[in-house]
Amino acid sequence: NAGVMQNPRHLVRRRGQEARLRCSPMKGHSHVYWYRQLPEEGLKFMVYLQKENIIDESGMPKERFSAEFPKEGPSILRIQQVVRGDSAAYFCASSPWGKTEAFFGQGTRLTVV
C-alpha cells in the first residue's frame, strides 16, 4: 500500500503565476488535510476535505487559495497569483474514517521568485 503521494516535490513559480499542488491519499482513505509549514515553524492547518466536500476550511486564506478533492483523482491545492509570502512547504495528510492517525506525504516545497 503506497503512502500519501504528493507531487511535485519542488515547485518554483514566478510572482503572479498559479501553483497547483497534488495529493493522492493512501488507498481506502477518504479524508484529506492540507497543512502549510513556513520556514522554522510548525505546520498550520489549512483545509479538511472529504470526497467532493470541503468540511473545514478555517485555515485557508480568504483569497487566492482553493482546494478540491474530486470523486476521482487526487486532491488539488491551488494558489492563484502567488506572492513571495506563499513560499513554504505544503503537506497533505490522509486518514480513513474513524481512525486516530493521519498519514503525511513528503510535502511540496513551493518557492516563489
Partner 1 sequence: AQTVTQSQPEMSVQEAETVTLSCTYDTSESDYYLFWYKQPPSRQMILVIRQEAYKQQNATENRFSVNFQKAAKSFSLKISDSQLGDAAMYFCAYRSDGIQGAQKLVFGQGTRLTINP
Does 51 sit near partner 1 (CB under 8 A)?
no
Q: What angle do CA 42, 105, 76 make, to 5 degrees?
A: 95
Which grid coordinates are listed for 40? 522554522
Quote the least distance from Cβ 104 to partner 1, whole Å.
4
Per-residue mark of binding to partner 1, 21-50 (x: CB under 8 A)? ----------x-x-x----xxxxxx--x--
Does 56 sit near partner 1 (CB under 8 A)?
yes
Binders of partner 1 among 70-109, rule CB under 8 A? 89, 91, 93, 95, 97-98, 100-102, 104, 106-107, 109
Backbone angles phi, psi at 56, to 5 degrees: -150, 115
Helix (H, G, I), strand (E, B) or coil at 89: strand
d(CA 34, CA 47): 5
Closest CA to 93 of 30, 38, 41: 30
Quote the least distance from Cβ 103 to partner 1, whole Å.
8
Which residues of this chain interact with partner 1, rule CB under 8 A? 31, 33, 35, 40-45, 48, 55-56, 89, 91, 93, 95, 97-98, 100-102, 104, 106-107, 109
